[in-house]
Amino acid sequence: MSIHPTETVRTEMERTAPDGEPVLSLRGAAVRVGGRTLWSGVDLTVGAGEFTAVLGPNGVGKSTLVKVLLGLLPAVAGEVRVLGAAPGGHNTAVGYLPQRRNFDASVRIRGLDVVRLGLDGDSWGIPVPFLNRAKRRAARERVEEVVELVGATAYAHRPIGQCSGGEQQRLLIAQALVRRPRVLLLDEPLDSLDLPNQGAVAALLGRICHQEGVSVLMVAHDVNPILHHLDRVVYIADGGALCGTPTEVITSETLTRLYRTPVEVLRTSDGRLVVVGQPEAPAIHTDRHPHGGS
């Protein structure tokens, strides 16, 4: 069964940023890559401090959605707004963690300096020593603060190539956070982490949303580690998207239909939802794109 155009399960409430605009919004949006429409008719509203997961099989256009929100790729139909403006216009207010990044063991740059690049990365070539002392101290303090927020203080002085995948991930989340963005776009930040680390990073992201008021939109393959932190879920499949709260979208019937394979949603004794049989859990996630690699 097709889910095109977008089904919005929950009646749309206006979830707005303090200035009255939704933080992210798509209205009837469509995108084309390589002459092919990946999805169309997509409606989505994300409010301030909301945690949204983007789910769906390989190759359906999850990373492409993130690129549209970054302004790297235009929507060919409909309207896309980020913090009340066209995408790409608010770059310092939007933090981004791309898909599939890791540092080779030979990379000597310290974790702290990787985080610092989130502040200075766009001023490469401007000699940092010429920043005045107060600015340098403020930058150093902000880096230390955000490293502490993600729980990376113990290893942030080490070369990042010698940090584990989970440690690198936290440092990269710190880098994306260092400019105090209002929106954080994360493409599979839990990929390659073991289960305890997935849970810890998911809890960290939940805190960043709900305590710091940052809107987090993350692409994920396994919904279980993040499920009870989520405010909204977007499933992309069949050229459209299904949006709603986790309890509305994450049902056996809906997931079985979207993944075209039996998926069961169970409720545990403490009231949590668990998805069983969902394909493409991280352990078996490979680049199995139906139309070639991304």
Tell me which residues touch ligand ATP (CB under 6 A).
33-34, 38, 58-64, 99, 287, 289, 291-294
| Closer to Mg ion by Cβ: residue 8 or 99 | 99
Phi-psi region of 192 (alpha: psi -120 to 50; beta: other; left: phi over 0): left
| Closer to ligand ATP by Cβ: residue 34 or 129 | 34
| Closer to ligand ATP by Cβ: residue 17 or 30 | 30
- The option from ligand ATP, Mg ion, none interacting with 137 (CB < 5 to 8 A, set by class) reads none
At its nearest, how many Å lie between Mg ion and the CB of residue 124? 27
Q: Is 63 in the site for Mg ion (CB under 5 A)?
A: yes
Residue type at 165?
Answer: G
Instruction: For residues 14 and 22, give the distance between their C-alpha atoms in angstroms, rounded to a whole number.
Output: 7
What is the pairing mode between strands 240-244 and 77-82?
A: unpaired
Residue type at 121?
Answer: G
**What is the maximum alpha-carbon separation in the chain?**
61
Could you give the residue ranges of the DSSP H alpha helices within the chain? Answer: 62-70, 111-120, 133-149, 165-177, 195-210, 246-249, 252-259
| Closer to ligand ATP by Cβ: residue 100 or 157 | 100
- Nearest residue (beta carbon) to Mg ion: 63
At its nearest, how many Å lie between Mg ion and the CB of residue 287? 9
At its nearest, how many Å lie between ligand ATP and the CB of residue 61? 4
At its nearest, how many Å lie between Mg ion and the CB of residue 219? 6
- The option from Mg ion, ligand ATP, none interacting with 291 (CB < 5 to 8 A, set by class) reads ligand ATP
At its nearest, how many Å lie between Mg ion and the CB of residue 36? 16
| Closer to Mg ion by Cβ: residue 47 or 239 | 239
- The option from ligand ATP, Mg ion, none interacting with 136 (CB < 5 to 8 A, set by class) reads none
Q: Is 64 in the site for Mg ion (CB under 5 A)?
A: no
Binding region for Mg ion (CB under 5 A) out of 26-34, 58-66, 86-94, 195-203: 58-66
Q: Is 198 in the site for Mg ion (CB under 5 A)?
A: no
At its nearest, how many Å lie between ligand ATP and the CB of residue 118? 23
Q: Count residues near Mg ion (CB under 5 A).
A: 3
User: What DSSP state is assigned to residue 49?
Assistant: T
Instruction: For residues 276 and 294, give the distance between their C-alpha atoms in angstroms, rounded to a whole number.
Output: 27
Q: What is the DSSP string of 121-150?
A: GGGTTS-GGGS-HHHHHHHHHHHHHHHHHT
Instruction: For residues 288 and 286, give the distance between their C-alpha atoms in angstroms, rounded to a whole number.
Output: 6
Cα–Cα distance list, 146 to 90, 133, 140 (Å): 21, 20, 10
Cα–Cα distance list, 176 to 7, 42, 121, 230 (Å): 31, 26, 11, 20
Instruction: For residues 43 and 8, give the distance between their C-alpha atoms in angstroms, rounded to a whole number.
Output: 8
- The option from ligand ATP, Mg ion, none interacting with 129 (CB < 5 to 8 A, set by class) reads none
- The option from ligand ATP, Mg ion, none interacting with 145 (CB < 5 to 8 A, set by class) reads none
At its nearest, how many Å lie between Mg ion and the CB of residue 187? 6
Closest CA to 250 of 229, 269, 273: 273
Binding interface with Mg ion (CB under 5 A): 62-63, 99
